[in-house]
Structure 1
Amino acid sequence: MTYQHTDLSTSNFVEGDAIKASGPFPKKAAITLPAKKRCTPAIAGVLAGFYTSHVKNLAVLEELDLQETKDQARIDTLTANNDQLKAIAQDYASDVLLQDWKRRLPAETKRAFSFLGFALRRDAQVINFRLGHEVAEAALSAKKGPTDYLSALLRTVGIVDLVFVLELASSDSEENHPLHLHGIARIPATVSTQAIRELLAPEPDLNSSPPIRGYRQRWSNKAIALTELQTPGTWVSYSGKEFDFTAHSLQSNPGYASRSATKAGRDLYEAMKGWLRS
């Protein structure tokens, strides 16, 4: 006689068959979070803009709080604006990788924040310095590289606090040397524009001995230009627009930041990161 048996703990089977186990439960699919994007110079400019606006609002709030007759309506408006600003900034930064400054933050991001942090100095100015042929050629042949050479040259007239990027202009003209720099600097009151020009881009004088090819100004293309900084983020992007091309051409890093500019950049970055994560 053949007996049939049903085991509710396993699948049904007929006597003589092997038990068909159901096997382990399938594992849950691993949840992969979307990768965060790196903090590019453009993103750095936006985030720094949010933070500096927040700081300016706080300064106004402190002034209003010290007044005997408080303008409560304005205080409430600024407070609400700051809360909204922070919410927008945190949302924007939610998928941005804000790494440790010393160990992991990319060099281009450090450079951007050095520009942005130094731009907060009240006495900082935008600099556009052209170079005479002799100065440019000496910088390009310097053993320690052109940025070291030019920063040392500027120190001789008292310009020690600055950040800049070298750029090689793409031009077929041989009248002026294509090497020049864009940056931000603190120019001492005792240093004139003419003194900087005589140092970096003197007037051509082919009759002198030896002849000086120097730098010849054309129309609005001034050899030495100092202007007030209006939009730091835009200036960062403009200054670095030919960074990769220039780095490849020079086979060296075309960026320079004094210790004061680097510190200003790090202070801004750490304060901004703390604000976004608070």
Structure 2
Amino acid sequence: MTSKYQSPFKEGEVPQILQKLHDSELRRHAEQIATRDSIRALFEEDWFADEGAVDAASESRDAEFDDLSLLLNEAPAVLSEPHLEDLKTSPLDVLCPQQGNPGQTNHVEAGVNAKIGRSNRAGQPLSTPGRAGLVARFHLDHTERVVAIRAIGKLHIDPDDQLEKLLKTDAFIQKLMKSYQGVGELPEWAKFVSPQMKQYFRLHLLCTKTDAKTITIRLDHDSAEAALAAPRGAANFLAEIIKRTLAKLGIDTDLAFNLEFNHTGSIENHPLHIHGAFCIPEDRVKAVSEALRKALAMDYRQRYKNLAVHIEQPRNARWWATYCIKEYGITASKLEAERGRKNRPDYATQKLTQETKAFYEDIGVWLNT
């Protein structure tokens, strides 16, 4: 017995969806360029010292954008989903399937067309910020659609029409991501994801949360030297001061940051500084900035627009996470040279690390259902 399936898209609908996706990527890409230029102006001398590393990261993101543009042009070849009336599962199961045997699930859903449009590539590790950011963003969009479908029953709208749109969009994006990323298990978080990429995922996820803010702290000489001499390492030492300062203001938040040294050669200010993210209400930004300045950067001498403590809303989660980790290896080597033993150049709260691990594993499940 065979089952008859047909495309869920009306004639001429796929090119329209493709064009919308491509236009959306063009806008996002343009926003990233604008963000890069605005932050270039913001960080002045710090930026130009690191310009080679940042431009290399920018080129990596450009390549990821080109990959997706090519994928969108070829996308009709990967479309073969049944109509809603042919599905034997609930709409929520389609959007948010139970974890099981990915290969078996795919075979059942695709029926006699199980091999049509399937990617033959093995699952690739999300080993660069460009690739990881792209897949992570589309997965976050997927989770928003899951929330939307659960809310449909509470709204006075035609549920069938809305379900149709949500399921079509989700199936389409999932097919694109499988073709782009390939199918197969993602590398295990604990053993095979590098510390640098773990920090990227933490920062990316943190910057998407409510009240998320980016933070840069340019340390004064006393704070920087005390951190470098701290027995538990500079990152842990500075994290404790930041958390203690926030606690005095009644703020308990997730926190992640990276240490960096600028390369200007100036001795007026210490080269050690922090780039990271946390979550605080907008109306507390001024108080938090002043408290952290007093705790860690009281004697920092401002040059150009380089504030001692700079806090703002994330302009682009993917871009900021990439910027924060851009000198991970360089900083780790310098810390080892300074202290004579290996030291991590990053910090993240345990709760955030646990959430990020779950987020990463959810991406793997999504790509294999």
Is the structural similarity TM-score above 0.5? yes
In the other structure, the counterpart of 1:231 is 316
In the other structure, the counterpart of 1:243 is 328
- The match for 2:181 among 93, 116, 137 is 93
Contact (CA 8 Å) 1:132, 1:176: kept in 2 or not? Answer: yes
Listed as ranges, the gaps of 5+ residues in structure 2 are 1-119, 337-342
In the other structure, the counterpart of 1:274 is 365
In the other structure, the counterpart of 2:350 is 259
- The match for 2:294 among 188, 191, 198 is 198
In the other structure, the counterpart of 1:105 is 193
In the other structure, the counterpart of 1:39 is 126
**Alpha-carbon distance in 2 for matches of 1:87, 1:56:** 17
Contact (CA 8 Å) 2:199, 2:325: kept in 1 or not? Answer: no
In the other structure, the counterpart of 2:275 is 182
Contact (CA 8 Å) 1:118, 1:264: kept in 2 or not? Answer: no
SS in 2 for 1:121: coil
Contact (CA 8 Å) 1:115, 1:265: kept in 2 or not? Answer: no
Between 1:135-144 and 1:104-113, the stretch displaced more is 104-113
**Alpha-carbon distance in 2 for matches of 1:226, 1:74:** 39
SS in 2 for 1:184: strand
Count residues with an aligned counterpart: 235
- The match for 2:157 among 69, 75, 78 is 69
What per-residue deviation string (whole Å, max 9, x for no partner) do you get for residues 89-129 of structure 1?
11222178711122332222222221122223212211111
- TM score, norm. by length of structure 1: 0.76
* 1:275 Cα offset (Å): 0.9
What per-residue deviation string (whole Å, max 9, x for no partner) do you get for residues 187-217 of structure 1?
4749521111100100xxxxxxxxxxx2011
- The match for 1:156 among 244, 248, 258 is 244
Listed as ranges, the gaps of 5+ residues in structure 1 are 1-32, 203-213
What per-residue deviation string (whole Å, max 9, x for no partner) do you get for residues 199-250 of structure 1?
0100xxxxxxxxxxx2011232111111112321111111111111111111
**Alpha-carbon distance in 1 for matches of 2:351, 2:212:** 12
- The match for 1:128 among 208, 211, 216 is 216
Give the counterpart letter for 1:272 in structure 2: I
Contact (CA 8 Å) 1:98, 1:273: kept in 2 or not? Answer: yes
Contact (CA 8 Å) 1:98, 1:105: kept in 2 or not? Answer: no
Is 2:82 the partner of 1:82?
no
- TM score, norm. by length of structure 2: 0.59
In the other structure, the counterpart of 2:137 is 49
Contact (CA 8 Å) 1:247, 1:253: kept in 2 or not? Answer: yes
* 1:61 Cα offset (Å): 3.4
Contact (CA 8 Å) 2:184, 2:368: kept in 1 or not? Answer: no
Contact (CA 8 Å) 2:185, 2:364: kept in 1 or not? Answer: no
**Alpha-carbon distance in 1 for matches of 2:293, 2:225:** 16
SS in 1 for 2:304: coil
**Alpha-carbon distance in 2 for matches of 1:70, 1:62:** 14
**Alpha-carbon distance in 1 for matches of 2:184, 2:347:** 25
* 1:72 Cα offset (Å): 4.9
SS in 2 for 1:165: strand
Closer, same or farther: CA 276–38 of 1 in aligned 2, 3 Å: closer
**Alpha-carbon distance in 2 for matches of 1:76, 1:95:** 25
SS in 1 for 2:227: helix
Between 1:224-233 and 1:151-160, the stretch displaced more is 151-160
**Alpha-carbon distance in 1 for matches of 2:136, 2:304:** 35
**Alpha-carbon distance in 1 for matches of 2:159, 2:324:** 42
**Alpha-carbon distance in 1 for matches of 2:351, 2:207:** 12
Richer in helix (by share): 2
Contact (CA 8 Å) 2:203, 2:277: kept in 1 or not? Answer: yes
**Structure ID, larger Rg:** 1
